[in-house]
Chain A
Amino acid sequence: MTDTMERPSTTGATQAQEGPGRGMRFTNWAANWVDERTSMSGLVKELGRKIFPDHWSFMLGEVALYSFIVILLSGTFLTFFFQASMAPVEYEGSYAPLKGLEMSSAMASTLDISFDIRGGLLMRQIHHWAALLFVASIGLHMLRIFFTGAFRKPRELNWVVGFVLFVLAMGEGFTGYSLPDDLLSGNGLRIIDGMIKGVPVVGTWISYLLFGGEFPGEAIVGRLYTLHILLLPALVVAAIGVHMVLLIVNKHTQFAGPGRTNDNVVGVPIMPVFAAKAGGFFFIIFGVIALVASTVTINPIWNYGPYDPSPISAGTQPDWYIGFADGALRLVPPGWEFQLGPYTVSMNILIPILVLVLFLLVVALYPFFEAWITGDKREHHIADRPRNAPMRTAIGAAGVTFYAALWAAASSDLIATHFRLAVEGVTHAIQALLIFGPIIAGVVTHRVCIALQKKDREIALHGYESGRIVRLPGGEYIEVHEPLSDFERWKLVSFEEYQPLMVRPDARGRITAGQRLRASISRFFFEDRISPVTQTELEAAHSDHH
């Protein structure tokens, strides 16, 4: 519309005399028409006045959103040609090494999309690369939220919504990966089937229910398709909606800085600059995905061939976001399953499932745990620098290490071949890493955070070391310290300090076990800490120097 306004009018003088151009009048009329029927102008004004702070890491959520849009667009294209049926057909498409083979229509239609439909392969690759980017950007976005403490009140709920999105995204990814009914995805489903069957009593029933009979059956692709294009996307869209509304209600966090307080948000209003940037950013993301998709192969199902329960390929792995689950299974030492009467209890499957579920639960509930430990009921709108919350950062580092170990385990065979190691050695090393890695990472991170805080404190009080040595008249040597600007100092001194909670008797004069537990965890959290520089300390330091 703006475009129309600015273009030199073709009818020339006549129109100039008529006041606003035809395009403008149409815009006004249309806007009015819509507003009279929806009262949207209030909302638009409200939204337009929203502020969005600028820091690169604040854009990761947007990356996830835009890759999701790319997924929706390319996915719609794919639905036009994909046939979610396991009915056997003979492949007669143009890929020679599969010609004449019997396969499911799902596989055959995916091959047709890849080789016989114009732009189909590009769309498939866009869809798949965008999916990998989608989950990866959600992951990175979550890490950003975690390490800056942006999940604290009032945003705990939105953290949970985001977590649900993460799980839904993994679900979307896995169902999508399974649709082509190729050898790789079939083996993935086989593992899922095995995991389900490992659950005592109900496992076999659930497996039969899910697959509509004995694995692989004829039903699973159709069912996964319904999940993949209907149920899960609907849930994702709904969750994204809630996520955005909560984001608008809670406003965005910002890093500490002069003029930035817990009660305001400093940044660019959404309209028009941010909106324009966001639009541009969407196309950049789309562009990056399209570039990668047009140059790099992803999921070459033509190599894998149709699913058939007998063969399996070396290097069979799920997409990266399911890797941690695959890794958990690979790390189980032999001999964990045992006989209980006529039943086999598959601890080798149950324990990893349990570990994964617990891990995800810890991630989902961490904000509530931290709130409980700190006893902090205030709202927080200033993002923490990770070093200023050493214990949280340490826990995060431990969690990342744990996840990374599981993740690496999923590629133990490739690590072995590419680094010329024995696969057993790799597995044992990762087993050790899974257990000791998080502890070491946590302790080291904690120490590093505290050391960084100490350094910040030094700098805030005495300025930067300039490296300039000066000899005083008395013969004494000192190093000259450059003082900080107020702006820089602000960043260094404004953070929260938590003290260990004391055990206090409750209303009835009793100290509950919960209280005690909380106090001891709190002590563990906050015993070692660096206090922010106070005004008095600053003044004292200044009078020292001048």
Chain B
Amino acid sequence: MRTESTSPRRSRGRGRRSPLASAALLLVGLLATGGVYAAFTTAATAETTQRIDALADEGEKLFLANCASCHGLQAEGTDAAPTLIGVGAAAVDFQVGTGRMPMAATGPQAEAKPVQFTDEQVKALAAYVATLAPGPAIPDEKYLTGEGDVAVGAELFRTNCAMCHNVAGAGGALTEGKFAPDLHNVDPAHIYEAMVTGPQNMPVFNDLNITPEDKANIIAYLTYLDNNSSPGGLDLGGLGPVSEGLFAWIFVLGAVVAVTVWLTAKSN
């Protein structure tokens, strides 16, 4: 079930072996681990592994070209950015897939922006980072269907996520200009990955905290919110009493005052 368990074993060995490796050495290392790994598995898996390795190669090239300036040549981290060893494919797929990486401007937090890579390239980068050290993998499709127990998902969301993201997923403020973003229309894979990797100020929700099934339920709830508009009419951004109060003062009282002005003007 878990693709995680394959990549860890493979990359743990490699990580130890290549602290100073050049790109070529790395490739050899990769092939070697690939070979060792293949010995343990069936021919079919060996084939997939090779495909993953090829993907990882391409990912490495992309990494060197786009990410190494901040994250270091071996993703070991620099003053500008943290290490990516051990963050796993999920982190990369999330960060690059939502456009957060490569980071553009320095600010309180790296923000989502138009994605700069094709799907293929994102997967390649993810595959490459996954080879560095064990880490959470890109989630299985079966958790991302948006189907599940919405009621359970909603409750989990309220207890685990609403304090930052707001009950309606409208987002909220954190300290020093950081914020938890609006969760409407976020790709299910990215929701899942956000939970397992805990980007920036978001905590990690590992599988012991919230089981994969429950993660799927949370995704189901967020999907439900996306697909069902508020039963009461306009939702005013789902921000609660503040937007309601402003609406009451500006539009409701405004309309009423306009009526009073009109009524008294008529009679004069």
Contacts and interface: CB of A to CB of B under 8 A. Distances in A.
Interface of A: 54-60, 63, 95-101, 114-115, 121, 125, 129, 132-133, 136-137, 140, 183-184, 268, 277, 281, 284-285, 288-289, 292, 294-300, 302-305, 308, 310-321, 323, 410-414, 416-417, 420-425
B88 to A, nearest CB: 27
Interface in B164-216: 164-168, 170-177, 179-180
A319 B166 contact: no
Report the contact-size class of chain B (Cβ under 8 Å from the partner).
35 or more
B151 interface: yes
Contacts, number: 197
A410 B239 CA distance: 13
Given A97-B151, A414-B173, A416-B173, A56 B168 contact: no
Contact of B257 (A54, A56, A132): A56
A289 B255 CA distance: 10
B34 interface: no
B242 A422 contact: no
A263 B232 CA distance: 52
A133 B173 contact: no
Interface in B223-268: 224, 230-236, 238-242, 244-249, 251-253, 255-257, 259-261, 263-265, 267-268
B19 interface: no
Contacts of B236: 296-297
Nearest to B167: A313
B164 A183 contact: no
Contacts of A294: 233
A305 B180 CA distance: 20
A311 B173 contact: no
Contacts of A321: 245
Contact of A315 (B170, B221, B224, B251): B170
A298 B244 contact: yes
B159 to A, nearest CB: 5
A314 B232 contact: no
8 contacts: A56-B265, A95-B231, A97-B151, A97-B154, A136-B249, A297-B232, A311-B159, A424-B176
A121 B241 contact: no
B264 A54 contact: yes
Given A136-B249, A313-B162, A317-B242, A268 B231 contact: no
A319 B244 contact: yes
B163 interface: yes
Given A56-B257, A296-B233, A297-B232, A136 B240 contact: no
B150 interface: yes
Contact of A137 (B151, B174, B230, B253): B253
A313 B173 CA distance: 11
Contact of B235 (A95, A297, A312): A297
A125 B232 CA distance: 8
B155 interface: yes
A96 B151 contact: yes
Contact of A300 (B154, B158, B232, B261): B232
A319 B245 contact: yes
Contacts of A299: 241, 244
A182 B265 CA distance: 45
B267 A54 contact: yes
Contacts of B170: 314-315
B225 to A, nearest CB: 8
A296 B231 contact: no
A295 B231 CA distance: 10
B176 A59 contact: no
Given A60-B260, A413-B172, A413-B173, A314 B163 contact: yes
A284 B245 CA distance: 21
Given A98-B151, A297-B233, A314-B172, A277 B244 contact: no
Nearest to B179: A417
Contacts of A277: 263, 267
A281 B151 contact: no
A132 B252 contact: yes
Given A54-B264, A294-B233, A314-B162, A410 B172 contact: no
B168 A303 contact: yes
The list of the 4 closest CB pairs from A to B, nearest first, reads A314-B172, A320-B245, A297-B232, A422-B177
